[in-house]
């Protein structure tokens, strides 16, 4: 029932958002409000496991990142942690671009990247300001889940990928069994409370577990990738399924 109930879900829907436009605006406002403590909270609340996830995802695309002419886009990049993981995996100076629609997040990413070749652009993932077939690799780490229209986001990623290009979507999941029970207690009760205390803002950390519960289950996400036009769509679980990497090729 859980998977079939999610099939018709369009995208993220923060509390009070009645349509995709208000949902997108609410998400932008939430991330703007927590930008000053975003990095600290990510590391504290994940016990630093998030760093391992970013590195593992970047290593998955080592072949592409090893090409000096590769064009790479990190979508929904936030403060740039996945973007930096891609850069560390790249062989030599890589053409890596981070994109996000939160100006506050991008400002922090820019401050962290002084002295590097990384570039940043403020852009909506559903209306990317790039020509068709520009990128060899597009990643999105823990941001795709917040799009107001998941399928539209996949189609836009496919549009700006070159033939043979790949996408990687790293996001949260819901583990099963005993681990799942422990995880849900932490994720739905402890994490929102700690996040609210450290950030001083309640909304985003109450929204987080709800957004993960709403997000399509792995089987459905893989099917959405296929319907959007990706081939070789697959999901690899990380850390008992707490997170996982979705892949697809154009």
Instruction: Give me the percent of the chain exceeding a pLDDT of 90.
Output: 63
Give the separation between CA 168 and CA 240, rounded to whole angstroms. 19
pLDDT of residue 54 exceeding 70: yes
Residue 216 lies in domain: 2-249
Q: Residue 148: in which H helix or E strand, if any?
A: none
Q: What is the pTM of this model?
A: 0.90
Give the separation between CA 125 and CA 76, rounded to whole angstroms. 7
pLDDT of residue 245 exceeding 70: yes
What residue spans of 140-199 are helical by DSSP H? 150-160, 177-185, 191-199
For 15-48, what is each residue's pLDDT tens digit?
Answer: 877 788 898 898 898 888 887 777 877 777 787 8
Confidence of residue 4 (pLDDT cuts 50, 70, 90): very low
Q: What is the CATH number of the domain that holds 224?
A: 3.40.50.150
Structural domains of the chain, count: 1
Query: CA Rg, the chain, in Å?
Result: 17
């Amino acid at each position: 029932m859980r998977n079939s109930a999610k099939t018709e879900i369009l995208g993220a829907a923060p509390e009070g958002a009645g349509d995709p436009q208000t949902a997108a605006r609410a998400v932008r406002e939430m991330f703007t409000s927590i930008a000053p403590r975003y990095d600290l909270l990510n590391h504290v609340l994940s016990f630093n496991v998030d760093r391992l996830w970013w590195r593992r995802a970047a290593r998955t695309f080592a072949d592409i990142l090893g090409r000096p002419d590769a064009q790479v886009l990190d979508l929904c990049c936030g403060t740039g942690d996945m973007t930096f993981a891609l850069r560390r995996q790249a062989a030599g100076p890589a053409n890596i671009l981070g994109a996000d629609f939160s100006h506050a997040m991008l400002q922090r990413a820019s401050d962290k990247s002084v002295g590097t070749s990384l570039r940043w652009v403020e852009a909506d993932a559903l209306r990317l300001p790039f020509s068709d077939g520009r990128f060899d690799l597009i990643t999105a780490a823990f941001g795709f889940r917040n799009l107001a229209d998941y399928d539209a986001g996949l189609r836009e990623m496919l549009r700006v990928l070159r033939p043979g290009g790949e996408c990687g979507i790293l996001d949260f999941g819901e583990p099963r069994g005993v681990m799942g029970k422990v995880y849900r207690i932490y994720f739905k009760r402890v994490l929102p409370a700690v996040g609210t205390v450290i950030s001083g803002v309640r909304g985003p950390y109450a929204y987080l577990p709800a957004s993960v519960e709403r997000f399509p289950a792995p089987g459905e996400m893989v099917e959405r990738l296929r319907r959007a036009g990706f081939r070789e769509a697959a999901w690899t679980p990380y850390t008992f399924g707490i997170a996982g990497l979705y892949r697809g090729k154009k």
